[in-house]
């Protein structure tokens, strides 16, 4: 196996965090944790997984893919039972161990409240889960957890988290990270089947998740929604809320975080109280970096929450 230091993706992730931490040293603990996660999940490329439905060999959209998109159903939605969860199951177990043995001591006076609470949840949750002897579930049980996540069955995830003595947020974080590489591989495989002019929804046309951020791209400032789980990338009107589809511009707005006026905005909807981060970019952010950029701006989530806005879990049914 290639050494971590030879893996170009891990090196790039490392460099991106280095520059973010240089600008904001308070990001250090979360950067370290995220780098460890990435060293695990991205250590070797995922080979193109078997597609759950038929397409012809030239990659021309199969009629079922086209029909789904027309009906507003993401390509992987409804196919959950057919997906290959071998890798996510082993990542899930490894990530639990990483969170458990994570040595970084969090300095309450030094670190951003947002990253501290995120890490606190992950680390203390993993410890209590392992101490309760619950960490080594059988493969079939873990596989079922992935299916619940993708189906947006939050009730079942909540029940499972209670049985494991951890918070639902920790369980979801572990499951989402474990799923990312394989969903990104599906995203790449399914790209030729995506006819985006058929897709008018606010959620991801590939996996069905809500966007984790959006990009105002190029000189035309067209808004692209981005899915950090599969890397999905689709155009969505700036004056429409992706969650509730509200188009009343008097109920749509945005705000800045002080000192970051030029870099980021947070778009909000007064109708459903949802929010979405917006990053100006020239080029699309690579799939493997979307979660990184989202984590590096956790302080925005804190500000949005203070103002009464929230965003749904990736597969939450609204
Ligand atoms: Zn997606
Ligand atoms: Zn809304």
The DSSP secondary structure of 20-73, one letter per residue, reads HHHH-GGGHHHHHHHHHHHHHHTSSPPP-PPPSS---TT-PPPHHHHHHHHTT-
Q: 161 CA distance to ligand 1 centroid (A)?
A: 24
Q: 26 CA distance to ligand 1 centroid (A)?
A: 30
Ligand nearest to the backbone CA of 74: 1
Q: 240 CA distance to ligand 2 centroid (A)?
A: 8
219-265 pLDDT tens trace = 888 999 999 999 999 999 999 999 999 999 999 999 988 777 778 89
Q: 103 CA distance to ligand 1 centroid (A)?
A: 32
pLDDT of residue 250: 97
Residue 38 pLDDT class (50, 70, 90 cuts): very high
CA-CA distance, 224 to 124, in Å (whole number)? 36
Q: 129 CA distance to ligand 2 centroid (A)?
A: 36
Q: 312 CA distance to ligand 1 centroid (A)?
A: 14
Q: Where in the chain is the domain with CATH 3.90.1670.10?
A: 197-306
**Which range has the worst mean pLDDT, 12-16, 113-117, 258-262, 287-291?**
113-117
Q: 80 CA distance to ligand 2 centroid (A)?
A: 27
Ligand nearest to the backbone CA of 239: 2
Q: 293 CA distance to ligand 2 centroid (A)?
A: 23
Q: 210 CA distance to ligand 2 centroid (A)?
A: 12
pLDDT averaged over every residue in the chain = 86
146-204 pLDDT tens trace = 999 999 999 999 998 888 777 788 889 889 999 999 999 999 999 888 989 999 999 99
pLDDT of residue 108: 44
Q: 225 CA distance to ligand 1 centroid (A)?
A: 10
Ligand nearest to the backbone CA of 190: 1
Q: 247 CA distance to ligand 2 centroid (A)?
A: 9
289-313 pLDDT tens trace = 999 999 999 889 989 999 999 999 9
Bridge partners, 214 (sequence order): 225, 278
Q: Angle CA(157)–CA(27)–CA(119) in degrees, nearest 5?
A: 30
68-85 pLDDT tens trace = 999 999 999 999 999 999
Q: 254 CA distance to ligand 1 centroid (A)?
A: 24
pLDDT of residue 117: 66
To the nearest 10 degrees (0 to 180), the angle between helices 86-101 and 139-150 is 100
Q: 207 CA distance to ligand 1 centroid (A)?
A: 4
Owner of token pair 């390509």: 75
Ligand nearest to the backbone CA of 204: 1
Which pair of structure tokens corresponds to residue 137? 């579930």
pLDDT of residue 113: 56
Ligand nearest to the backbone CA of 242: 2
What is the percentage of the chain residues whose pLDDT exceeds 70? 85
On the question of pLDDT at 286 being above 60, the answer is yes
**Which range has the worst mean pLDDT, 30-34, 122-126, 158-162, 280-284?**
122-126
Q: What is 197-306's CATH topology?
A: FdhE-like fold (3.90.1670)
Long-range contacts of 71-75 (CB under 8 A, 24+ apart): 72/199, 72/200, 72/201, 73/208, 74/201, 74/203, 74/204, 74/205, 74/206, 74/207, 74/208, 75/190, 75/193, 75/194, 75/205, 75/206, 75/207
Q: Full-prediction pTM beyond 0.85?
A: yes
């Amino acid at each position: 196996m290639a050494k971590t230091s030879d893996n170009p993706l891990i090196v790039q992730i490392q460099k991106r965090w280095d520059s973010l931490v240089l600008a904001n040293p308070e990001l250090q603990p979360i950067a370290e944790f995220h780098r460890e996660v990435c060293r695990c999940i991205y250590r070797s490329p995922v080979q193109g997984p078997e597609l759950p439905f038929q397409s012809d060999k030239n990659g021309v959209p199969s009629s079922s893919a086209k029909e789904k998109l027309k009906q507003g159903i993401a390509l992987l939605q409804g196919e959950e039972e057919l997906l290959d969860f071998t890798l996510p199951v082993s990542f899930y177990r490894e990530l639990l161990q990483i969170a458990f043995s994570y040595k970084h001591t969090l300095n309450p006076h030094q670190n951003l409240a947002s990253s501290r609470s995120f890490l606190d949840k992950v680390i203390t949750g993993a410890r209590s889960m392992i101490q309760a002897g619950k960490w080594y579930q059988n493969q079939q049980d873990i596989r079922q957890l992935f299916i619940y996540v993708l189906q947006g069955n939050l009730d079942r995830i909540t029940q499972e988290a209670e049985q494991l003595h951890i918070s639902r947020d920790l369980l979801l974080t572990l499951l989402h990270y474990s799923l990312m590489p394989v969903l990104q591989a599906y995203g790449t495989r399914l790209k030729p089947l995506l006819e985006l002019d058929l897709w008018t929804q606010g959620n991801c046309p590939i996996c069905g998740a809500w966007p984790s951020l959006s990009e105002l791209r190029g000189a035309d400032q067209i808004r692209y929604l981005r899915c950090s789980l599969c890397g999905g990338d689709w155009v969505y009107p700036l004056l429409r809320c992706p969650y509730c589809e509200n188009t009343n511009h008097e109920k749509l707005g945005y705000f800045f975080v002080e000192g970051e006026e030029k870099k980021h905005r947070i778009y909000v909807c007064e109708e459903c109280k949802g929010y979405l981060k917006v990053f100006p970019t020239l080029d699309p952010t690579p799939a493997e970096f979307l979660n990184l950029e989202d984590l590096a701006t956790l302080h925005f989530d804190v500000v949005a929450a203070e103002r009464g806005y929230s965003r749904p879990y990736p597969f939450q049914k609204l």
